[in-house]
Structure 1
Amino acid sequence: MSEEILINITPMETRVALVENGVLQEVHIERTQRRGIVGNIYKGKVVRVLPGMQAAFVDIGLERAAFIHASEISEREGAAVEPISALVHDGKALVVQVTKDPIGTKGARLTTHLSVPSRYLVYMPRTPHVGISLKIDEEAERDRLRDIVTRSVEQEGGEERGGFILRTAAEAAREEDILIDIRYVRRLWQQIQQQMNTAPAPSVLYEDLPLALRTLRDLANPRLEKIRIDSRETFQKVEQFVHELMPGVEDLLEHYPGERPIFDLYGIEDEIQKALDRKVLLKSGGYLVIDQTEAMTTIDVNTGAFVGHRNLEETIFKTNLEAATSIARQLRLRNLGGIIIIDFIDMEDEEHRRQVLRTLERQLERDHAKTNIIGITELGLVQMTRKRTRESLEQILCEPCPCCSGRGIQRTAESVCYEIFREIMREARAYQAGGYMVLASQAVIDRLLDEESGNVADLELFIQRPIKFQVETMYTQEQYDVVLT
C-alpha cells in the first residue's frame, strides 16, 4: 500500500490530505486565525472549583475557561483519586496541557500529566515509565526499543528523568535517531521549565508545531512515497525541519509548482464536498446515512438499489462488508469522534456478523486516532468509540443553517399557512383593525392564494375584515408577519 501526503498552503489556511492508493483517507485543516491548541502547554489559573463534579475551570487565556477533572491532576488512579478541593483552590497557578480543543459550547479539556512529542517518541517528564505502541507487535523489536530508552534514562540520572512512550514510527528506527529524539525533547522540556518559573498566569509555555510540520511528525511512515507541497516558503521550512529531525524523509519531499491546484490533481475538493453529505453511496448500490449529533454519531446501512444475484442473506452480507470498509474511511475522512453507533443491516448468520465486525476492526487498524469497538448490542447495533481531540470536518467547514437552526428540516408551507390563520384569529380577538396584511415567503403566499383560498375566504367572512398578502423574498419558509392595516 502506497501513501502520499499533499500539503496545500494559502495565507488563510493550511490543508493536508493523506492519500492511500490514490484514494483520499484523511483531511486536516488549520485556519490561520483559528489554530488548534491540542498539545499546547499553558500556565493557567484556577478560576472555579466544582466539588460536585470533581473538576475545576482554569483560565488559560482563551475566550472560555478550560475544564480539568481531578483524575487529570492526581497522581493516583481509579477510586483513590483525591477530592478536587484537596488538589486545587481558586487562584492557584497550574501548568496544564490541552488534550481536547474547545468544541461547540464546550471549553478545552486539560491535564497536568504533561507530554512532549517528537518523531519517534513522546516524553513524559513527570511519569517514570517506558511504554511501546501496541501497533509494534514483534517482541524482539519491542525489547530492542525498550533497551535503547532504558539505557538512555539510566545514563541521564537526576531525580526527574521522566518516561517515554515509543510511537509506531520508532519501529526499525536506528538507535542514534532515537537518541537524537530523546535529547531534543529533553532540551525542549528544559526551556518549558525555565518559563514555568517566570511566566505570569495565564500564558503559553509551549505551542505544538503548525499543521504542515505536525503532519510529517505524526503521519510519516515506511509506506509513504511522496510529500508534495505547493508553497516554496513552506517547502523550505519543512526541508529544514526534516533535515534536523527526520533525515530519512528528505528524499520524499517535492515542491509542486504546477498551474493546476494540487488538490484538483486527485479530485480532493470533490471528496471534501462529498464528506459533508449525510448520504454516502456504496459501489454495490447500497448507501450509508451519517448523522452527527452533540451526544453521538449514528451510521445507518441500507441495501438501496442492490438486490444481489443469489439470495437476500448474501445480498445483506455483501452490503455490510462494503459498508464496514466505507465506514472506517468515513470516520477518518470526516474526523468523527466520541460515541459512534452503527446500524448494520440485520444478519441471521453468526459467521457473517463475525466477518463484518472483523472487517471493520481490520480497516480501523490504519486509523491514527485510537478506536475501540465495544461490541454488538441486543438490538444488533455496533457500539464503538473514536478518540476526539479536534473538531470534525463538518464543525470546521460548516455552521447551523439559519433557516432550520440545524434541525435539517423545516415546517411545510401548509403548516405555516395554518399558523398564520391562528395568528389572525388571535389578532382579531385582541385588536380592532380595518384589515390584515400577511407578509410571508413566496411558497407560503402561493399556497394561501391557491389551495387555501377557500379557507382564507371563510376566515375573512368570520372576522369580517379583509386579508391581503405580500411576498417577502428574503423570508425563509417558516418566517411570516401579520400586520394590522
Structure 2
Amino acid sequence: MSEEILINVTPVETRVALVENGMLQEAYVERTSRKGIVGNIFKGKVARVLPGMEAAFVDIGLERAAFIHASDVLPVNGDDNGEPSDGPRTVPDIRTLLREGQSLVVQVTKDPIGTKGARLTTQLSIPSRYLVFMPGVHHVGISQRIEDEDERTRLKKTLETAIGEQEHCAGGFIIRTAAEGVSDADILADMAYLQRLNQSIIDRIEHVRAPAIVYQDLPLFIRTIRDLIRPQTEKVRIDSRESHQKVMEFVREFVSEFESKVEYYPGERPIFDLYSVEDEIQKALSRKVQLKSGGYVIIDQTEAMTTIDINTGAFVGHRNLEETIFKTNLEAARAISRQLRLRNLGGIIIIDFIDMDDPEHQRQVHRMLEKMLERDHAKTKITGVSELGLVEMTRKRTTESLGQILCEPCPICDGRGFLKTGETVCYEVFREILRVNRAYEAESYLVMASQKVVDRLLDEEADNVADLETFIGKSIRFQVEPFYSQEQYDVVLL
C-alpha cells in the first residue's frame, strides 16, 4: 500500500491530507483563528461544583467553562497509584475531590463541540514520537497494535530497565505503535526528552496564575510528522518553504530516518489538486456517497449519533437478489470505513446494512468492516449485527468533524435540512390573518412574503384568498420581499 501525506499551509489555515493508493483517506484542518486545544495543559480554576452530575465546571480562560467528570479527577489523597485496575472503578463524590475557587492542572481531552465546552482530565499525558509520558502513573503500557510478542517484550524491557536505573521517575509511559522496530537508543532519547518537557511544565505551573495555559501541543503540520508518518509513507509534501524548514528541524531531531521522505512542493498546481483532494473534501460534505456499483450510502450526522443507511440504487446485480445485496453491503463496508476517517465522525454510529438472510454473508460483511477499521487511527468499538439488522459502533471523538469545521447550520432551515412548502406557508398566512382580524381593528391587510409564496397566493390560492376576503370583509394585498426566505412572512395592518 502506497501512502503520501500532503500539507497545505497558508497564513489563515493549515490542511493535511493522508492519501493511500491515490485515494484521500483522512483530512485535517486547523485554522489560525480557531485552533484545536486537545492535548493542551491548563492551570484552571474550579468555577462550579455540580454534585448532581458528579462533575464540575472549570475556568481555563476560554469563552465557555470546560467540563470535568469525577472519574477524570485523580484522587487527592494519593490512594490511587496509577496502576491499571481490572475491577470496576468507583467514582468518588465530586465534593471530596474539588471545591469552588480551587486551582487545578488539567488537560483537554475533547475540543468544545457545538454548545458543549471542552472536556478535561487531571490524568495528564504528554506525547512524543514513540512514547506517551503520564505524570503520577507508575506503570509501562504498550500499544495493542504492536502484535509481535518478542517486540513487545523488548520494548517494555528497554523502558522498564531505564526507569529502574533512575533514582526517581515522575511518571509512567505508554509505548506507541510507531516505536515498533525502533532502536533502544531512540526510545531512550524520547524518554529523556519527555522528562525534560515535563520538568519545564512543572516549573511553569508554579509560576503562573489560573486560568493560564502551561503547555500547548505542536502545530498541525508538525503533529502530522509525529503521529502520521510511518515506514510505508512514501512522501510528505509541504507547499510552504518556511513550514518545510520547521518540519525538517523536527525530523532531524526526532525521526531522522524519514528525512529523505520530506520534500518541499513548489509546483504551480495547488498541492490539494493532486489526487483530486479538493474534490474529495467537497464530496465528504454531502449526505450521499455514491458507490461504484451504482448503489449509494446516506450519512446523517445528528447531535446524539450518526446514522448510515445503504441502498442498492441503480445496482441490479447479475445472479439473484441475495447476491446483489451482499455485494452492495461489502462495497458499502469499505466505503463507510473510509468516510468515517475522512469526515472524522465520532461518538455513536448506527449502520443499517441492507437485510441479509444468509448468516455467512452477515459474517463476511461484518468482518470486512472490522478489517477496514483496523487502519483507523481513532479507537473504534463495533458490535455484531443486531436483531433489527443494525451494526452499532463507537468511534472516539476528540475534535469536531470535517463538516462541523467547514460548515455551519443553514440559516434558512435552521439546520433541519428541509423547508416548509409554499402551500404550507400560504395556509399559515391565512391563519395569521384570521388571528389578527379577531384581535385588532384594521381596514385592510398587507402580506409581505417571498416571491414563491406571493406567486402561489395570487395563482393556485387565489380562490381561497377571495373566500377569506369575503369572510373577514376586508381586502388583502400582497408584496414580494426579495430578501425573505420561503418561510418568512409578515402581515401588516393598514
TM-score (normalised: structure 1) = 0.98
Match of 1:87 in 2: 97
Match of 2:125 in 1: 115
Contact 1:74 1:81 in 2 (8 A): no
Match of 2:373 in 1: 364
Match of 1:137 in 2: 147
Q: SS of 2:157's equivalent?
A: helix
Letter in 2 for 1:287: Y
Match of 1:22 in 2: 22
Q: SS of 1:19's equivalent?
A: strand
Instruction: Give the deviation of 1:13 after TM superposition.
Output: 0.2
Match of 1:206 in 2: 215
Match of 1:104 in 2: 114
Residue-by-residue CA offset, 1:339-384 (whole Å, 9 max, x unaligned): 0000000000001000000000000001000000022222111000
Match of 2:392 in 1: 383
Unaligned runs of 5+ residues in structure 2 are none
Q: SS of 1:102's equivalent?
A: coil
Contact 2:49 2:55 in 1 (8 A): yes
2:339 alignment partner, one of 330, 337, 353:
330
Which range moves more in the overlay, 224-233 or 368-377? 368-377
C-alpha RMSD of the superposition: 1.0
Letter in 2 for 1:425: L
1:222 alignment partner, one of 222, 231, 239:
231
Match of 1:477 in 2: 486
Percent identity (aligned): 68
Instruction: Give the deviation of 1:79 after TM superposition.
Output: 4.2
The 5-angstrom pairing of residues 433-448 of structure 1 reads: 433-448=442-457
- For the residues of structure 1 that align with 2:54 and 2:443, how far apart are their CA atoms? 63
Contact 2:46 2:102 in 1 (8 A): yes
* 1:255 and 2:264 correspond: yes
Instruction: Give the deviation of 1:143 after TM superposition.
Output: 0.5
Match of 1:374 in 2: 383
Match of 2:318 in 1: 309
Instruction: Give the deviation of 1:431 after TM superposition.
Output: 2.1
Q: SS of 1:266's equivalent?
A: helix
Contact 1:227 1:252 in 2 (8 A): yes
- For the residues of structure 2 that align with 1:243 and 1:347, how far apart are their CA atoms? 53
Contact 1:153 1:161 in 2 (8 A): no
Residue-by-residue CA offset, 1:59-79 (whole Å, 9 max, x unaligned): 111111111111111355734
The 5-angstrom pairing of residues 55-454 of structure 1 reads: 55-75=55-75, 76=80, 78-158=88-168, 160-454=169-463
Q: SS of 1:156's equivalent?
A: coil
Unaligned runs of 5+ residues in structure 1 are none
- For the residues of structure 2 that align with 1:483 and 1:80, how far apart are their CA atoms? 63
The number of aligned residues is: 484
Residue-by-residue CA offset, 1:250-269 (whole Å, 9 max, x unaligned): 11011011111100122111
Letter in 2 for 1:48: R
1:461 alignment partner, one of 461, 467, 470:
470
Contact 1:68 1:111 in 2 (8 A): yes
- For the residues of structure 2 that align with 1:125 and 1:412, how far apart are their CA atoms? 59
Q: SS of 1:80's equivalent?
A: coil
Contact 1:347 1:353 in 2 (8 A): yes
- For the residues of structure 1 that align with 2:74 and 2:128, how far apart are their CA atoms? 25
- For the residues of structure 2 that align with 1:36 and 1:99, how far apart are their CA atoms? 11
- For the residues of structure 2 that align with 1:203 and 1:152, how far apart are their CA atoms? 34
Instruction: Give the deviation of 1:81 after TM superposition.
Output: 2.9
